[in-house]
Amino acid sequence: MNQFQRSPARGVVLIAVLSFLLLGAVWVSPAAAGFTSGQATITYRVRTDDTLWTISQRLAVSPSRLAEENGHPSVLQVGQRLYVTASVSDNTFPYRVQPGDSLYLISRRLGRSVDSIAKASHLTSHEIHPGQMLRIPLAESDETLHRVQRGESLFGLSRQYQVPAEAVVKLNWLSTDEIRIGQALRIPRAENQAPPGVTLYRVRPGDTLNHLSAQYATTVWAIKETNGLVSSRLMPGQPLYIPAGSSLPAEVSPPQGEQVDGYGRLLEWEWARWYYPPGTQATVTDFYTGRSFEVVRLGGSNHADSEPATARDTEVMRAVFGGRWSWHPRPIFLTVRGQKFAASMNSMPHDVQTIYHNNFAGHFCLYFYQSRTHRTNSLHADHQFNVLRAAGHR
């Protein structure tokens, strides 16, 4: 089963203290305070006509520094992500217009809107000329700009801002889950994923359905029906839609993740756990052999501890793993509630058991995208690789 942090400037602290005393304002951490000056790391996506030299000219950086930051690549591939440390001022970085550029092409190249570039560059028209220096906003006006601090992770930031980690990865053109200290991250605005009259709640240790139904003036039945729960067992961090003030269940539309044709949906653990809550039975299909068997979710806060549903399922599962139990994980599809998700699992029976007629003495570990280990709360590289493979990304 499985911070070098700069102190705020004195003036900022003084303003914060006065705001709190006079207005009751809440202190905003330095990480979200923006980039008024200095340097910031941004991500650039390589296009067809790019070389390290042309990129350095566009972004006004040293070619040697650009090469060093990215491991001195001998050849650039279209779509490749590069780290660029750019000089910033007032939450913008510079861009030198090249022959053939237009505001539209620049906006496509840098992933910003034409209007936001024009506004940041104080343009009175959309006419530009080679050699002209433009200012590119680090983030759009409807996004939050975050400076990465030591010890932070995408998982932690997704929880902090209540947005899916995959949305941050996509918006910032990240190729991995790794982020760098000082990196400027664009955080998308958190969408209200709950319809009117419904509260999106994250389970806390000690919560029960009886307690939550009383707190939100609803019923246990309404909560269970709204979320498709077959058990009253709750796990910390589990998302629940609560029809506050109503005794009737509500219709909800949780995130489903992205799907490549022929593969499983890539949905991060934060929401995959909603589809596969404790007590739920699902179908596992092995990625390589296509053989299937039934499993039941036992629990687990960081990943889905599961058990084979029957002795027959245990027999098929063992065959899939070559006739022996193994900690070495395999990519799988998990089908539940009519959705096929990309996942990964090992087969080693261990620890707690709740199904006693299945010839499996314990449970096994099942991971989704961004699932973590229980003991160290860290990403498991093999499981994450398998999930991406089952999603068609490896």
Assigned CATH for 27-191 = 3.10.350.10
**Cα 54 off chain centre by:** 32
Mean pLDDT for all residues in the chain: 87
**What is the total residue count of the chain?**
394
According to CATH, where is 3.10.350.10 located in the chain?
Answer: 27-191, 199-242
- Predicted pLDDT at 34: 59
* Assigned token pair, 30: 């330095």
Instruction: Report the percentage of the chain scoring pLDDT > 70.
Output: 90
pLDDT band of residue 101 (cuts 50, 70, 90) is: very high
pLDDT 10s digits, 111-156: 998 989 999 999 999 899 999 999 999 998 878 889 898 888 888 8
Q: Which residues contact 371 (CB under 8 A, 6 or more apart)?
A: 269, 272, 302, 303, 304, 380, 383, 387
Half-sphere exposure of 232 (CA within 13 A, CB side): 12
Question: Tell me, what's the pLDDT at 193?
Answer: 63
What predicted TM-score, i.e. pTM, was given to this entire model?
0.58
Average pLDDT on 374-393 reads: 92
Rg, the chain, Cα only? 25
Of the candidates 271, 260, 288, 257, the residue with the CA atom closest to the CA atom of residue 391: 260
Q: What is the DSSP string of 78-126?
A: TT-EEEEEEEEETTEEEEE--TT--HHHHHHHHT--HHHHHHHTT-SSS
The confidence score (pLDDT) of residue 176 equals: 78
Rounded distance between C-alpha atoms, residue 11 and residue 29, angstroms: 14
- Tell whether the model's pLDDT for residue 185 goes beyond 70: yes
Residue 3 confidence (pLDDT) above 80? no
> How far, CA to CA in Å, does 159 sit from each of 48, 130, 156, 270, 362?
36, 43, 5, 9, 31
Q: What's the pLDDT score for residue 258?
A: 82
Asked whether 319 and 291 are in contact (CB, 8 A), the reply is yes
Give residue-wise pLDDT tens across range 304-316: 999 999 999 999 9
Nearest alpha carbon to residue 265 among 337, 209, 189, 159: 337
Output 210 or 79, whichever has higher pLDDT. Answer: 210
pLDDT at residue 19 tops 70: no
Which pLDDT score is estimated for 270? 86
Residue 217, phi-psi category: left (phi > 0), alpha (psi -120 to 50), beta (remainder): left
391 pLDDT above the threshold of 60:
yes
Each residue's pLDDT tens digit, 189-242: 765 567 888 998 889 889 999 999 999 999 999 999 999 999 999 998 899 999
Q: What is the pLDDT of residue 259?
A: 86
What value does the mean pLDDT take over residues 239-247?
94
Using pLDDT thresholds of 50, 70 and 90, give the confidence band for residue 27. Answer: very low
**Contact criterion met (CB below 8 Å) for 92 and 137:** yes
The pLDDT of residue 365 = 98
- Multiple choice CATH, 199-242, 3.30.565.10, 3.10.350.10, 2.40.170.20, 3.30.450.20: 3.10.350.10
Which pLDDT belongs to residue 20?
Answer: 28
CA distances to 111, 140, 183 from 107, rounded to whole Å, are 6, 12, 20
* Beta carbons within 10 angstroms of residue 329's beta carbon: 24
- Domain 269-390 CATH class label: mainly beta
Residues 6+ apart with CB under 8 A from 314: 293, 308, 358, 359, 360
Token pair of 377 as six digits: 């709360």
Distance of alpha carbon 222 from the chain centroid: 29
Q: Dihedrals φ, ψ of 58, to 5°?
A: -65, -45
| Residue range 328-337: mean pLDDT, rounded | 98
Question: Any alpha helices (H) in 196-268, and if so which ranges?
Answer: 209-215, 220-227
Return residue ranges of the chain for CATH 2.40.10: 269-390
| Bridge partner residues of 136 (DSSP) | 93
CA distance linking residue 288 with residue 291, whole number of Å: 8
Q: Using the predicted structure, report yes or no on whether residue 10 has a pLDDT greater than 50.
A: no
